[in-house]
């Protein structure tokens, strides 16, 4: 079902995000999927996550998906449709909540993200997932969280992991290189000095020890400009790291992420995501051929 984006705009303007996402979730069939909701992963911070798994999943790749919302709002339940869309394609999808500004600043929501990834690694097998095929994925500010975990070693180190424990980073219109900051909220989130702000940028941490990256970006995005994905791609290439950038003509910020589900006909975004996941798992299994194809 095609969701009218005039309706989306009106709902966002009036603040009725819950109403809008309830409508989106109602359009997505859930057959063949098992949902496990409201699982605590950081009870000391009252944080939980939802898991969406294919029926009878066995050694499935695992994706931890961080939703967007300008680091200020959002709820995991709004993104049931993302979890279900991934699960329908054979992925165990984990959608965690994380704390938002102004309750926490950057260190708080990145700590939450790291804890969610650690939980996924420890518990993936319970849902038919394979922790050795673990990906982080996010849209917009959620893409920033995913990218920081995949590049700045300190966050996963705090939970006994490292970026190379991840099989890949999937950034969907992610915020990767967004200095300078001038809005008061961002100055409070990320810091006022140049050094403080520099530590908030994923592009500054790519040093050749990252997992492969797939960067998905709408060319018509006026919220997170394509220059950010292009910048991160360039840094990956400079450091000799595997990276792929997909630019989609005519897609803006919201339309790109909804192409994962209700607007799948707008662009082959989910196909590109799954192709990347399968390529990385095939590399690990030794099934990837030099010509880019994958042996059965």
Number of CB atoms found within 10 A of residue 222's CB = 9
Q: Quick one: the chain helix, strand, coil %, rounded to 5?
A: 45, 20, 35
Q: How much is the CA Rg of the chain, to the nearest whole Å?
A: 18
At 181-215, the pLDDT tens digits run: 989 999 999 999 999 999 999 999 999 999 999 99
Reported as a pLDDT band with limits 50, 70 and 90, residue 2 is: very low
| pLDDT value at residue 20 | 58
Of 26-40, 166-180, 253-267, 268-282, the least confident: 26-40
Q: Give, rounded to a whole angstrom, the gap between the first and last alpha carbons of the chain.
A: 33
Identify the residue with better confidence: 147 or 14.
147
pLDDT digit string, tens, across residues 51-77: 999 999 999 999 999 999 999 999 999
What is the pTM assigned to this prediction?
Answer: 0.90
Torsion of CA 116, 120, 121, 125, to 10 degrees: 170
Report the relative pairing of strands 129-139 and 60-66 from DSSP bridges: parallel
Q: Considering the chain, what is the average pLDDT of its residues? A: 90
- pLDDT band for position 21 (cuts 50, 70, 90): low
Element holding 39 (H helix, E strand): strand 33-42
Length of the chain: 296
- β-bridge mates for residue 96, sequence order: 49
Residues 268-279: b if buried by 16+ CB within 10 A, e if exposed:
ebbebbbbbbbb
Tens-digit pLDDT profile for residues 125-166: 999 999 999 999 999 999 999 999 999 999 999 999 999 999
What value does the mean pLDDT take over residues 212-224? 97
pLDDT in tens, 235-269: 999 999 999 999 999 999 999 999 999 888 999 99
**DSSP letters of 264-277?**
GGG--HHHHHHHHH
CA distance 86 to 18: 21
Class of domain 33-285: alpha beta
Residue 25 has pLDDT above 90, yes or no: no
List helix spans (H) across 181-268: 184-190, 194-198, 226-238, 253-258
Given CA atoms 200, 201, 207, 213 in this order, what sign does their dihedral have? Answer: positive
């Amino acid at each position: 079902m095609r969701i009218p984006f005039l309706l989306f705009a009106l709902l966002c303007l009036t603040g009725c995000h819950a109403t809008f996402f309830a409508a989106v979730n109602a359009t997505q069939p859930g057959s063949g999927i098992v949902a496990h909701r409201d699982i605590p992963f950081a009870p000391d911070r009252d944080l939980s996550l939802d898991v969406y798994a294919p029926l009878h999943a066995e050694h499935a790749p695992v994706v931890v998906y961080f939703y967007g919302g300008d680091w200020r709002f959002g709820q995991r339940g709004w993104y049931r449709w993302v979890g279900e869309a991934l699960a329908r394609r054979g992925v165990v999808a984990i959608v965690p909540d994380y704390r938002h500004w102004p309750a926490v600043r950057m260190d708080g929501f990145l700590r939450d993200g790291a804890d969610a990834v650690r939980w996924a690694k420890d518990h993936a097998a319970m849902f038919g997932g394979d922790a050795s095929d673990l990906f982080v994925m996010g849209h917009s500010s959620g893409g920033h969280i995913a990218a920081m975990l995949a590049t700045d070693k300190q966050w996963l180190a705090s939970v006994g992991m490292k970026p190379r424990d991840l099989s890949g980073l999937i950034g969907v219109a992610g915020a990767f290189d967004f200095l300078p900051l001038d809005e008061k909220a961002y100055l409070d989130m990320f810091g006022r000095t140049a050094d403080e702000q520099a530590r908030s940028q994923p592009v500054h941490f790519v040093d050749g020890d990252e997992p492969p990256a797939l960067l998905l970006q709408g060319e018509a995005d006026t919220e997170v400009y394509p220059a950010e994905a292009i910048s991160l791609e360039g840094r990956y290439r400079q450091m000799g790291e595997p990276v792929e950038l997909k630019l989609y003509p005519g897609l803006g910020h919201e339309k790109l992420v909804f192409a994962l589900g209700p607007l799948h006909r707008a662009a082959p975004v989910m196909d590109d995501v799954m192709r990347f996941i399968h390529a990385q798992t095939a590399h690990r299994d030794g099934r990837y051929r030099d010509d880019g194809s994958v042996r059965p």
